[in-house]
Structure 1
Amino acid sequence: MIRRRTFLQSLPALAAMPASFPASVLAQAYPSHPVRIIVPVSPGSGSDVVARYMSAELTKALGSAFVVENRLGASGMIGTDFVAKAAPDGYTLLCTYAAHYSNQWVEKTPYDAVRDFEPVARLGMSALLLTTAANSRFRTVQEVIAAAKRKPGGVSFGSSGNGTTSHMAAALMSSMAGIEMTHVPYKGPAQVAVDTASGQVDVGFGGVASSLALVKGGRLRVLAVTSLQRSSQLPDVVTMDEAGLKAYELVSPIWVMAPRGTPPAIVTQLSRAMTAAAATPAFKSYCIGQGLEVDIADAAAVRASAPAELERWKKLVALTQAKAKAG
């Protein structure tokens, strides 16, 4: 009877334990089996190559396999929604880019970019290049602007699609320069680079990685880079700011996120491991080789900046006049 009474008296304490117990236990045991890093775009993209580098580093640092899985479709929304609805246990992560926030203002997404995710880290960023064919009449950004002013709509530009980062880059240029250009949307950055090199469009906006081979092959001329700092890969290329569009900047950060509700101890563990790996010379060298730049922030910093990030991409999407999310 005494044993039964003692057991019954202990029940309230046992019932109270789950509120604080699971996070510490999970953190101690984590990771005990493979972790998936979901990349919502194709292999070879900036977020994909960063995810693959980090998967190897995390496997070594944390002692369990981290595996990259590409889940494509709907401009990144399919893979992103998969992570938003995954169990918040640290075993499903998202490595993503600007579309994480901008998609919410182009279409009605099945998730909220801020509320449904737990930021883990920011690891890098990708600038865009304004390019033209090697034999083009345009040699500077100002020449493009002058031609567009002489004949509104007479200069065409290629982008990766309506409402994409490259579309936003052109829209920002047009807004700041007071010009109108004709938009030619493509399904991806590779075809933008190819058609710009062949003169099918006058200029193109695309990532460093997707344009670099044609630049080095002498088929594309780079007029400017969209970051405030020059590209490590192309140090002789001016920024849009240096070309006369003061304070022009459009870059796509690369973030890692977890589903909302992931235990803070696990988020902290992952954030520390990732930012430590990103701070090494080896990661910097790797990023330069991929046309990326290192840009590190821990979980707390990314979480604090998330609302402003969402608002920033809302304004950029509005410049494109892409279909905005209702409400």
Structure 2
Amino acid sequence: MLTRRSMLCLLPALAAPWAREGFAQAYPVRPVRFVVPVAPSSATDLVARQVSVSLSKLWGQSVVVENRPGAGGAIGTDVVAKAAPDGYTVLFTFSAHYTNPWLEKTPYDPVKDFEPVARLASTALVMVTGADSPYKTVRDVIAATKREPRSVSYASAGDGSASHMSGALLNAIGGIQMTHAPYKNGAQAMVETASGQVQVAFAGQAALPLIRAGKLRVLAVTSAQPSALMPDAPPMNKAAGIEGYDLTSPVWAFAPKGTPAALIGKLSDAFGVIVASQEFKAFCTAQALDPGFMPAAAVRADVAAEAEKWHRLVQLTRA
């Protein structure tokens, strides 16, 4: 028998679906915040800013980008993990989202504390050597290290970085032993490589100025297919005569855990429209990025595999 009290208890449950639907239809009613856990001008930051401009036009609502760098991206990521799950805070991040917890203890879990929203683009890295280097191809590098293990040093942007993992992956798949030379950032690593202080290096956009100046020679891109980063450079598998090498750093969007599915869907759909636009494709071409949209459901289905992939790559850097 339904009493007045039991009816009152049922009302929130009965009303919830309608309330959520109405909330999603009204959303957004105030500015949306994109948190970028790295400094301005990084690939992740540039994507966030491009999407923010397009989303503002699409929705007629302000979208602000807030850079919260520090601890390899962990500080800004934690800000989003602790934010209200109301659709007004979105994290734009990259491979460090999955690698940081294996490098240092983080106050968040990259899988359990976030709701996937979309994958928007990716960037390969390039393997480079100095313009005056005796190494003309990746196979030259492999041959040298097989003749004399650890005779070739490779520069990276630091321990645990994507550039570090790129070299470690080549060591593992190529059956070679290059010596890792970590630097404070990619720009410094490129200067040292161009000057011959180290023999080769792996980097993203940080390599482009010295490549264009003719001071670095490109040996390969780290993706399995040609990349916008350096369209004429061969993929590593072809350049090295190996199989199974593929390393790119995606740009993802995540929301705090518990963000309503309706809001995740609305964000994901809007991002899909933006990534498909000619404006976004032109932006990616200008920034040497590879556009590639995955909606929330596809990213969610791929989370476990993605987390395991980056865990394995971190383990390679410690071998």
TM-score by length of 2: 0.95
Secondary structure at the counterpart of residue 238 of structure 2: coil
Question: Which residue does 1:325 correspond to in 2?
Answer: none
1:11 and 1:23 map into 2 onto residues whose CA distance is 19
- Give the AA of the match of 2:289: L
2:186 and 2:312 map into 1 onto residues whose CA distance is 23
Indicate if the aligned counterparts of 1:38 and 1:94 stay in contact, CA closer than 8 A.
yes
Question: Which residue does 1:66 correspond to in 2?
Answer: 63
Please point out which of 84, 88, 111 is paired with 2:85. 88
1:54 and 1:12 map into 2 onto residues whose CA distance is 42
2:233 and 2:97 map into 1 onto residues whose CA distance is 29
1:25 and 2:51 are equivalent in the alignment: no
Question: Which residue does 1:229 correspond to in 2?
Answer: 225
**How far off its partner does 1:232 sit?**
2.7
1:301 and 1:43 map into 2 onto residues whose CA distance is 28
Question: Which residue does 1:205 correspond to in 2?
Answer: 202
Indicate if the aligned counterparts of 2:193 and 2:200 stay in contact, CA closer than 8 A.
yes
Question: Which residue does 1:220 correspond to in 2?
Answer: 216
Please point out which of 173, 178, 183 is paired with 2:180. 183
Indicate if the aligned counterparts of 1:37 and 1:68 stay in contact, CA closer than 8 A.
yes
1:238 and 2:234 are equivalent in the alignment: yes
Q: How do 1:45-194 and structure 2 match up within 5 A? A: 45-194=42-191
Cα deviations by residue, 1:186-236 (Å, 9 ceiling, x for unpaired): 1221211222112121111000x2111111111110000000111234222
1:16 and 2:42 are equivalent in the alignment: no
1:37 and 1:53 map into 2 onto residues whose CA distance is 11
Indicate if the aligned counterparts of 2:123 and 2:229 stay in contact, CA closer than 8 A.
no
- Give the AA of the match of 2:217: R
- Identity across matched positions, percent: 53
Question: Which residue does 2:245 correspond to in 1?
Answer: 248
**How far off its partner does 1:25 sit?**
2.8
Secondary structure at the counterpart of residue 120 of structure 2: strand
- Give the AA of the match of 2:8: L
Question: Which residue does 2:268 correspond to in 1?
Answer: 271
Secondary structure at the counterpart of residue 20 of structure 1: helix
Indicate if the aligned counterparts of 1:31 and 1:63 stay in contact, CA closer than 8 A.
no
Indicate if the aligned counterparts of 2:103 and 2:160 stay in contact, CA closer than 8 A.
yes
Question: Which residue does 1:3 correspond to in 2?
Answer: none
Cα deviations by residue, 1:277-312 (Å, 9 ceiling, x for unpaired): 101222112112111101110000000000010011
Unmatched 5+ residue regions in structure 2? Answer: none
Question: Which residue does 2:35 correspond to in 1?
Answer: 38
**How far off its partner does 1:133 sit?**
0.8
1:185 and 1:279 map into 2 onto residues whose CA distance is 37
Cα deviations by residue, 1:130-171 (Å, 9 ceiling, x for unpaired): 001111111100111111112211111111111111111000
Indicate if the aligned counterparts of 1:186 and 1:192 stay in contact, CA closer than 8 A.
yes
1:202 and 1:112 map into 2 onto residues whose CA distance is 37
Indicate if the aligned counterparts of 1:278 and 1:284 stay in contact, CA closer than 8 A.
yes
Indicate if the aligned counterparts of 2:192 and 2:198 stay in contact, CA closer than 8 A.
yes
**How far off its partner does 1:18 sit?**
5.7
Indicate if the aligned counterparts of 1:193 and 1:211 stay in contact, CA closer than 8 A.
yes
Indicate if the aligned counterparts of 1:55 and 1:66 stay in contact, CA closer than 8 A.
yes
CA RMSD of aligned residues (A): 1.6
- Give the AA of the match of 1:211: A
- Give the AA of the match of 1:218: G
Please point out which of 240, 244, 259 is paired with 2:256. 259
Secondary structure at the counterpart of residue 163 of structure 1: coil
Moved more, 261-270 or 106-115: 106-115
Structure 1 residues 296, 12: closer, same or farther in 2, change over 3 A?
Answer: same
Indicate if the aligned counterparts of 2:124 and 2:229 stay in contact, CA closer than 8 A.
no
Indicate if the aligned counterparts of 2:126 and 2:203 stay in contact, CA closer than 8 A.
yes
Indicate if the aligned counterparts of 1:23 and 1:264 stay in contact, CA closer than 8 A.
no
